[in-house]
């Protein structure tokens, strides 16, 4: 039987707390809109964003993940990378079937209003081209004045 890691939830929020024996995750400030004042100047920084992730596992080993933030409405081209974060090592246990993890991303520098995508990536076998970063999941938010 092979090893597999899949993502079932990938949610951007302001704060994540965990409590209880399971533990239970409380996602606070889940919102896909990020409002800035009409007179705000860019670039503008989001100090911290939590990315709650629920993994479903099959005999998984620890894995390194990366986060990329893209501005989809950049005026110069169709998308512009505005942030790279990681690697984040997530220590899965071999016999675990579900694992919750919170990636904490600090100082995302917004370049302007519009659509943004956050991607969760991991190194994958690219065949004859060698290893490459492959997308595990993504979520979106919108910056509005």
pLDDT tens for residues 106-141?
999 999 999 999 999 998 877 788 788 999 999 999
| pLDDT(2) > 90 | no
The mean predicted confidence, pLDDT, of the chain is 90
pLDDT score, position 130: 78
Structural domains for the chain:
4-16+28-144 (2.60.40.10)
Q: Are 68 and 22 in contact (CB under 8 A)?
A: no
Whole-Å CA distances, 128 to 63, 64, 132, 133: 22, 21, 11, 14
Q: Are 53 and 98 in contact (CB under 8 A)?
A: no
pLDDT score, position 123: 85
List % helix, strand, coil for the chain (3-state, nearest 5): 0, 65, 30
Give the number of other CB atoms < 10 A from CB of residue 76: 5
Question: Stretch 62-67: mean pLDDT, rounded?
Answer: 93
pLDDT score, position 1: 39
pLDDT score, position 46: 94
| pLDDT(3) > 70 | no
Closest alpha carbon to 102 in 32, 20, 40, 17:
17
């Amino acid at each position: 039987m092979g090893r597999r890691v899949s993502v079932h939830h990938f949610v951007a929020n302001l704060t994540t707390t965990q409590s209880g024996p399971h533990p239970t995750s409380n996602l606070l400030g889940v919102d896909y809109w990020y409002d800035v004042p009409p007179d705000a100047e860019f670039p503008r920084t989001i100090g911290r964003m939590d990315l709650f992730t629920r993994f479903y596992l099959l005999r998984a080993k620890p894995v390194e993940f990366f986060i990329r933030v893209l501005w989809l409405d950049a005026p110069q081209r169709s998308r512009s990378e505005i942030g790279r974060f990681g690697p984040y090592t997530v220590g899965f246990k071999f016999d675990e079937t579900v694992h919750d993890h919170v990636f904490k991303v600090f100082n995302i520098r917004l370049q302007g209003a519009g659509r943004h995508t956050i991607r969760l990536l991991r190194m994958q076998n690219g065949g004859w081209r060698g290893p490459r970063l492959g997308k595990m999941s993504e979520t979106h938010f919108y910056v509005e004045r």
